[in-house]
């Protein structure tokens, strides 16, 4: 078994609020975990810490054996750590269209991904179509899209980099039935992919029942076992 995500005595706090206290956790590559917990316990922050987007106060995080905070994001990418992150809200570049949001990482890493201009464009369109974004919305700015479509564009962008880590913050929040079904299908694909380590935060009973993956509860800075 190869470790994918490792927390080594990781702590993090916002002022007086402990999100994590000396927590250790190992997720093998290709394994899955859903973190649940009450509102305000820091589930989103926990996800940022695990993805290396926010540094720990003490301890460290390793992704495929690399410490994300010690490397440039592009170096991490070149070392094979590809983090797809779907934020609960925001995350899309507000001054770029839906299509350009997906194109950007493909263009930036064109050499590493082995893509030329034409392939980048067609790949981005294909990804947006896969998550059922209408062609009419391809050139719209995120502010002009519904929250469901924005979530799908974020998903397409995360898929664009062929992630081996997928971090999904509250995947089915504020989504209609059709978009929720699409998101669940996508998550199930990643759940069954042995190359992708999947970490979700959610409080949705429907999602937990459907995914049937290990669940931990975040409370007072500790990850508690949950059945």
Q: List contacts with another protein (CB under 8 A).
A: 12-16, 48, 51, 53-55, 57-58, 69-70, 72-78, 82-85, 87, 89-95, 104-105, 107-112, 157, 161, 167
How far apart are CB 77 and another protein at their closest, in Å? 3
Report CA-CA distances (Å) from 70 to 7, 74, 93, 211.
15, 12, 25, 34
Q: What is the DSSP string of 24-56?
A: EEEEETT-EEEEE--TTS-HHHHHHHHHTSS--
State how far the Cα of 216 lies from the Cα of 16, in Å rounded to an integer: 23
Judged by beta carbon, residue 86 or residue 215, the one nearer another protein is 86
How far apart are CB 1 and another protein at their closest, in Å? 25
The answer for residues whose C-beta is within 8 angstroms of residue 199's C-beta and 6 or more apart is 5, 27, 32, 33, 35, 47, 50, 165, 166, 167, 168
State how far the Cα of 3 lies from the Cα of 202, in Å rounded to an integer: 23
How far apart are CB 105 and another protein at their closest, in Å? 4
How far apart are CB 227 and another protein at their closest, in Å? 30
Judged by beta carbon, residue 94 or residue 212, the one nearer another protein is 94
State how far the Cα of 103 lies from the Cα of 42, in Å rounded to an integer: 31
State how far the Cα of 212 lies from the Cα of 214, in Å rounded to an integer: 7
How far apart are CB 111 and another protein at their closest, in Å? 5
């Amino acid at each position: 078994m190869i470790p994918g995500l490792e927390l080594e005595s990781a702590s993090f706090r916002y002022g007086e609020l402990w999100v994590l206290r000396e927590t250790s956790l190992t997720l093998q590559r290709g394994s899955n975990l859903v973190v649940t917990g009450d509102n305000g316990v820091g589930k989103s922050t926990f996800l940022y810490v695990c993805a290396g987007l926010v540094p720990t106060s003490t301890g460290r995080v390793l992704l495929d054996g690399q410490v994300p905070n010690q490397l440039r994001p592009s170096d991490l990418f070149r070392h094979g750590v590809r983090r797809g992150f779907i934020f609960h809200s925001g995350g899309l570049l507000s001054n770029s269209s839906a299509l350009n949001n997906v194109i950007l990482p493909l263009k930036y890493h064109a050499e590493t991904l082995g893509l030329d201009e034409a392939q980048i464009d067609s790949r981005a369109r294909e990804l947006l179509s896969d998550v059922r974004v209408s062609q009419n919305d391809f050139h719209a700015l995120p502010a002009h899209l519904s929250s469901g479509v924005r979530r799908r564009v974020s998903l397409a962008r995360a898929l664009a980099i062929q992630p081996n880590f997928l971090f999904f913050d509250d995947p089915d929040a504020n989504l209609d039935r059709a978009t929720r079904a699409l998101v669940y299908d996508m998550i199930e694909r990643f759940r069954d992919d042995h190359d992708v380590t999947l970490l979700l935060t959610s409080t949705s009973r429907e999602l937990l029942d459907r995914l049937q993956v290990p669940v931990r509860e975040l409370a007072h800075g500790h990850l508690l076992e949950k059945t």
